[in-house]
Amino acid sequence: MAERVLILGGGLMGLAIAHQLARRGRAVQVLSRRRSEAAGFVAAGMLAPHAEGLAGDLLRLGQAGLERVPAWVAAVEGDSGLGCGLRQCGIVVPFASAAERDGFATGPYGQPLDRAGLERELPGIGPRWQAGWLFPQDGQIDNRRRLMRALERACVALGVHFQEGTEVEGLERDGSGSLRAVRLRTAEGERRTLEATQAVLACGAWSARLLPELPVFPVKGQMLSLQAPRGALSRVIFGPGTYLVPRQDGLVVVGATSEPEAGFCEGLTPAGQRQLQSGIEALLPEAAGWPPMERWWGFRPCTPDEGPLLGASPIPGLWLATGHHRNGVLLAAITAELVAGVIGGTLAQEEQDLVEAFRWNRDATRTPTHREPA
């Protein structure tokens, strides 16, 4: 029997990989400190490689992820008996002018819109916006309320073991430098050593605390939700610095600030909430009057070039699935497939090339892949 694989981190990435490995017959144990703090619970759930304006290898990875989402969701729903809230609703990216629109990197994958087209797709859109792109292939998943719960149940149904309230405090190596064990502290405060020669590091923004060589750091984001009249908004609006993501029941998720200077400082701030409110007023003025339902924050796991770290780590036997920044929901399915394939030695050449493009020690300079606030 193949040995057990430890998953270090019980967020979206950890659950997706645990599910994929379990479906392939592997014994899996998930160690999770506090699953509610995971980025998968706080993200907006957009599937937006084109609306995000991704480029190069990250666009290639994002498109591969988008392509795999429907089959992945079907598998999760089949194993769990729960819906994930997948919607191919399309995403509109508005611009102040046609010239700005035409300079958008992923424009060739979309449908151009003039002012009349924007008003047709987004009735009530703010007067500032005169042109845009519609990406009908992009969409969303209701990660916060549905996907995470479905993944948890799917993992349990497949025999994945969970150890909640457990903080992994260190990694131990054998004489050859390979992974030998993990040191952890249980919910009761007991310190233990758990033998393991196969593990996946999926600790999100906290990954570098276990492996300081990794170029992963937190970027705080604040968000809120509004209750809109049902059917008031049918497309996602992806503006500069703010986006509105409408769920099927009328809830609209609004995000998100980008605060790299905040580190791991928790909590909402007046400045962050004002930024979101200003974004709502600029994109869809009538939405400024919709009642707020919830406000929250989280920490994106970022890297210098905003691409994830996948595959082998500096420690043989420890595999990486971290650093997904703004694109964790989009990349969950492809990450799970690639990492499970690396562990099992079943990757095709094209998949090996993708993993190699996102190795942890690649030469990367920061090239933002999203629109900054205007």
The separation between CA 191 and the C-alpha centre of its own chain, rounded to angstroms, equals: 31
- Give the CA angle between residues 109, 110, 116 to the nearest 5°: 165
pLDDT of residue 230: 86
pLDDT of residue 107: 98
Residues 69-123: tens digit of each pLDDT: 999 999 999 999 999 999 999 999 999 999 999 999 999 999 999 999 999 999 9
CA distance 222 to 206: 18
DSSP 100: H
DSSP 108: G
pLDDT tens for the chain, residues 1 to 374 = 478 999 999 999 999 999 999 999 999 999 998 766 666 778 899 999 999 999 999 999 999 999 999 999 999 999 999 999 999 999 999 999 999 999 999 999 999 999 999 999 999 999 999 999 999 999 999 999 999 999 999 999 999 999 999 999 999 999 999 999 999 999 899 999 999 999 999 999 999 999 999 999 999 999 999 999 988 999 999 999 999 999 999 999 999 999 999 999 999 999 999 999 999 999 999 999 999 999 999 999 999 999 999 999 999 999 999 999 999 999 999 999 999 999 999 999 999 999 999 999 998 654 555 555 55
Question: What homologous superfamily is domain 5-84+143-215+305-357 in, according to CATH?
Answer: FAD/NAD(P)-binding domain (3.50.50.60)
Beta strand 199-201 with 318-322: parallel, antiparallel or unpaired?
A: parallel
Mean of all residue pLDDT scores within the chain:
94
**For the chain, what are the domain ranges?**
5-84+143-215+305-357, 91-139+217-299
Task: Using the Cα atoms of residue 233, residue 235, residue 236 and residue 239 in order, give the sign of their dihedral.
Answer: negative
Indicate the fold that domain 91-139+217-299 takes in CATH.
Answer: D-Amino Acid Oxidase; Chain A, domain 2 (3.30.9)
CA distance 2 to 38: 29
Tell me the residue type at 148: M
Q: Do domains 5-84+143-215+305-357 and 91-139+217-299 have the same CATH topology?
A: no
pLDDT of residue 36: 63
